[in-house]
Amino acid sequence: MLRITSPANEKVKRVRALLEQRKARQAYRQMVLESPRLIDEALRFALRHPDYRLAFAFYAEPTPRAQETLARLQAAGVPCYEVTPAILRMCTDAETPQGLIAVAPIPELPWPAAPTFLLLLDRVQEPGNVGAVLRSAAAAGAEGVLIPPGTADPWHPKAVRAGAGAHFVLPVRRISWPELPQQVEGTALWLATPEGERTYWEVDWREPVTLVLGGEAAGPGPQVRSLPHRTVRIPMARGMESLNVAVAAALLLYEVARQRGWGRVAGSEGG
């Protein structure tokens, strides 16, 4: 039986680093999966991509749901280590841990050759909001998400949890500011702002577009605004200044999908 009892174990240190340090996630190209559902998504991704293999898993007093996933991990040949409950608590910050975590490679999904529906997150600093936006973007059929400097790490544990599997279906690309013009070339740049010139249902979203969402406090920054762009707004009742960025993203993304007939084509209406 594979068992770890010491917090000084190198694998325990690896998990802690991946949880706490962006530079560790970038260096190792790995992330921590903190629920059976996410681990199952990773295992399904591995079936479609033979070169993708989970690194290892920790378990301690797993729930019945986690035991099912643990059995699938073991059947797939993933090294699974029993750890003490105290060590497992050190290796997750999930509010309701289920007794099982795994370390997996960050998926490398191909970027679309000529994208027509991109999302750019500019200065969105809360990882949970980044993950929630990715979840909506994947559900609405976005083709890719651009992450420039100043935005929270999309592979932060909170972002991965909030993404609910989006990281395994939606290409996410970190970019530098000098790369931005090339990345959005061929698309109309629409910035979501409270003072936007058009309401979001007045925009023709059927053309190739890059939708830009900024932080709730300041909105998109000067690097994005320096490019040719137009602005779009979500009307709000008197006295309200802004929406949570994840809520705003869902409204805008699904208007794009509605205009393109994506829900009817995909057969996803009502789901």
Is residue 249 within 8 Å of 216, Cβ to Cβ? no
Residue 52 pLDDT more than 70? Answer: yes
Q: Where are the domains of the chain?
A: 3-105, 117-266
Q: What is the pLDDT of residue 215?
A: 79
Residue 263 pLDDT more than 60? Answer: no
Q: For domain 3-105, give the fold.
A: 60s Ribosomal Protein L30; Chain: A; (3.30.1330)
pLDDT, average across residues 206-235:
88
Tokens of 265: 């084509």
Spatial strand order of the sheet with 209-214 comes to: 172-174, 144-147, 117-122, 209-214, 188-192, 230-233, 198-199
| 55-71 burial: b if 16+ Cβ within 10 Å, else e | bbbbbbebeeebeebbe
Q: What is the pLDDT of residue 265?
A: 41
Q: How far apart are the first and last CA of the chain?
A: 43
Residue 266 pLDDT more than 50? Answer: no
d(CA 200, CA 144): 20
Residue 264 pLDDT more than 70? Answer: no
Per CATH, domain 117-266 is 3.20.20.80: no
Q: What is the pLDDT of residue 216?
A: 67
Tokens of 45: 């991704």
Give the number of other CB atoms < 10 A from CB of residue 152.
21
Whole-model pTM? 0.91
